[in-house]
Structure 1
């Protein structure tokens, strides 16, 4: 079993519901959702291209999936995450947009969000001691020969190459897309998600994600509100 620390909107947020419709699975309930009927892309094409992000669920990763270290427990992780989230101030991402991420697509801030970058770095530093060391197989799956020197150092220090200065916040919407289909996919995604991206995205919770079994889908295990309880009550 693995855990991940992520951002995902609340269960009732319109963006959560639209993403569940697109990916074919609700990240909170784990329930499968019928793929949408979309002009320009067939149902079977959507199911194929969303297979990978469907497994991981709709989220922006702050700390990538990890196994608990031998002397750590889920109860301790929950306790510390609750305390940690209470020290943070909620903020907003002014705007998300569908964009190309190499050969795939995801939602990214239209302009860099320094608060999200700071949040990811803080999560990494606060919770890395919960992570079991990477196995040789896990290191090989990260393609170490294709990493830069900084990314290689991150992999061995933090368990993932794209952290700290290499971190770029994103919420995956597809797996690898054939170059010939990139323009078509981009237009479909923009049309599909545009209504849910008209408003700023509030970042007011941190989600603990949990893998169902070995290699199973991830779902939201618990949601941890940011900010002091007294301040949230006043608000």
Structure 2
């Protein structure tokens, strides 16, 4: 199995933003501070097993994946990865702007873009490529955990090339709020989450930052250890 610590490059909203608080309160965990958060009453009324429903996304914190979790390649250090994040962020680029909505994706519920955004696909692809030299190769066990037999041929190719199957044109931006739910359970939870999200009045969201997350061991939650604002075009 992949060694630890593991690192990931994610989009995470600013710690003081309404979106960050929205995600942390629903997941019961704030990846900015590493602190547990109390659940509010509404999710528990809708789903008494809310703690279980959110167990998987809680482990990672409220985020959208840009470069999936990885152990460091031999000879690479955390300091070098941190420096690479700063260099990446300093490179001027068009900042992706999305219209965020809450919807179902592959059976779970997440904040996703209402429509595809080319600049966002490019940002994610750049992250996959630019940070791949830091990634330790997948072990046979880690590859098997991805269930390659259930992936498409293209996704298997990406798993072997980039260590993760959902990259390039397979990438779908999502900030996960629940684990997978069957359709009957999903409907009332989706309605509740859409209602809470509407209260943020967040019509647009700039994907204008990257965060470096670290997981110390298999039982630990991911926590933010560095954040960088992306440089806009000069």
- In structure 2, the residue matched to 1:76 is 80
Q: Is the 8 A contact 1:36 1:43 kept in 2?
A: no
CA RMSD of aligned residues (A): 1.8
What are structure 2's unaligned runs of at least 5 residues?
none
- In structure 1, the residue matched to 2:146 is 142
- Offset, 1:52: 0.5
Q: Is the 8 A contact 1:162 1:168 kept in 2?
A: yes
Counterpart mapping for 1:183-222 below 5 A: 183-222=187-226
Matched, 1:130 2:134: yes
For 1:47 and 1:75, locate their aligned partners in 2 and report how far apart those are by CA, in whole Å. 35
For 1:57 and 1:165, locate their aligned partners in 2 and report how far apart those are by CA, in whole Å. 25
Matched, 1:118 2:130: no
For 1:214 and 1:70, locate their aligned partners in 2 and report how far apart those are by CA, in whole Å. 20
| CA 186–66 in structure 1, closer or farther in 2 if over 3 Å, else same | same
For 2:43 and 2:29, locate their aligned partners in 1 and report how far apart those are by CA, in whole Å. 20
Counterpart mapping for 1:80-119 below 5 A: 80-89=84-93, 91-119=95-123
- In structure 2, the residue matched to 1:67 is 71
Provide the TM-score with structure 2 as the length reference: 0.93
Matched, 1:50 2:54: yes
- Offset, 1:43: 6.2
For 1:193 and 1:47, locate their aligned partners in 2 and report how far apart those are by CA, in whole Å. 19
Provide the TM-score with structure 1 as the length reference: 0.92
For 2:229 and 2:43, locate their aligned partners in 1 and report how far apart those are by CA, in whole Å. 38
Q: Which of these residues, 155, 158, 165, is aligned with residue 162 of structure 2?
A: 158
Q: Is the 8 A contact 1:97 1:197 kept in 2?
A: no
